[in-house]
Structure 1
Amino acid sequence: MSYILNSITLRTDNSEGGMAKLNEVWRDIVSGKLPLMHDSDGQFLQGLSPISRYSNYESDENGAYDLTIFTATADFFARMEQKAAAGAFKKYDFDGADIAEAANQAWAQVWSDKAAGTIFRTFTEDFESTVPGEYTKDGQAHCYLYIAIK
């Protein structure tokens, strides 16, 4: 009997130790050790994208938060685009040589915009989707962020 996890949640922060925990969980997901993108028999699940949901913020980006990783279909992105168009979220889209570079650039821009006062984050929930270059048309890794704003 095979099974699939619906989501994985961990409590972490942006410290070096927190990022190490996060990277370990992602390695386990990508390898199939945690059956989120694969079933427990190791079969890859087609048509699903891994999404990170940041929520339950202790304060802001400097405090602890819950990170929930789940998979979604294309309709998730359509709904997020509608929410961004309605002004509930600001969308960030960055590309790079690899997903770490794309994600680092995206989050650096969010923090820069917050510091400059050009966005006002709610710290309720934010979403991230990173796509490795081997799965994109342009060969670049992409990071899509949807940041909840006031």
Structure 2
Amino acid sequence: MAYKLKEATIRTNNSEEGMKMIDELWEDISSGKLPVLFDSEHTFQQGISPVSRYSNYSSDESGDYDLTIMAVSVEFFKNMEVAVSKGLYKKYVEKDENGEIGVCAKKAWEKVWNEQKSGEIKRAFTMDYESSVPSEYTKDGKAHCYLYIAIQ
């Protein structure tokens, strides 16, 4: 009997060691070792996308937080757009012309941090979401990153 996980969570932070933990979690999910995108028999689950949820912040981006990688359907993105329209979240969209997903995500997060520092946004540090799409899954061949940041 095949099974799958809805999500996998680690406690981490933005240190070098924390980034390694995040990379390892993504590797385990991408390879199917943790059956979030694939079931336990390594069958890809159609109609789902991986999304990172950042939650349970000990303080701000400099402290520990929970990182959950979860499998979501298109309904998740529709609900997030509603939350953005209500002013609960701010959406950030970035892309990288060379298809580098890490560069794309870094651009998006740097915008968030710059807007925090300038006072343009006030983050709630409740739950934030990131959907990064590798270039091989996009129509334009570019990496895309979508951030939904909870704001006050």
Q: Distance in 1 between matches of 2:92 and 2:7?
A: 24
Matches within 5 A, 1:1-150: 1-96=1-96, 97-150=99-152
What per-residue deviation string (whole Å, max 9, x for no partner) do you get for residues 24-57 of structure 1? 0101100111110000001111110001110000
Write the letter of the residue equivalent to 2:13. D
Q: Distance in 2 between matches of 1:114 and 1:8?
A: 28
- Secondary structure at the counterpart of residue 53 of structure 1: strand
Quote the offset at 1:2 in angstroms.
1.1
Moved over 4 A (4+): none
- Secondary structure at the counterpart of residue 44 of structure 2: coil
Per the normalisation by structure 1, the TM-score is 0.98
Q: Distance in 1 between matches of 2:16 and 2:110?
A: 16
Write the letter of the residue equivalent to 2:88. A
- Secondary structure at the counterpart of residue 103 of structure 1: helix
Uncovered stretches (5+) of structure 2, i.e. residues with no partner:
none
Write the letter of the residue equivalent to 1:144. Y
Query: How many matched pairs?
Result: 150
Q: Distance in 1 between matches of 2:92 and 2:148?
A: 7
Q: Distance in 2 between matches of 1:113 and 1:10?
A: 27
- Secondary structure at the counterpart of residue 126 of structure 2: strand
Write the letter of the residue equivalent to 2:74. A
Identity %: 54
Write the letter of the residue equivalent to 1:111. W
Write the letter of the residue equivalent to 1:116. S
Per the normalisation by structure 2, the TM-score is 0.97
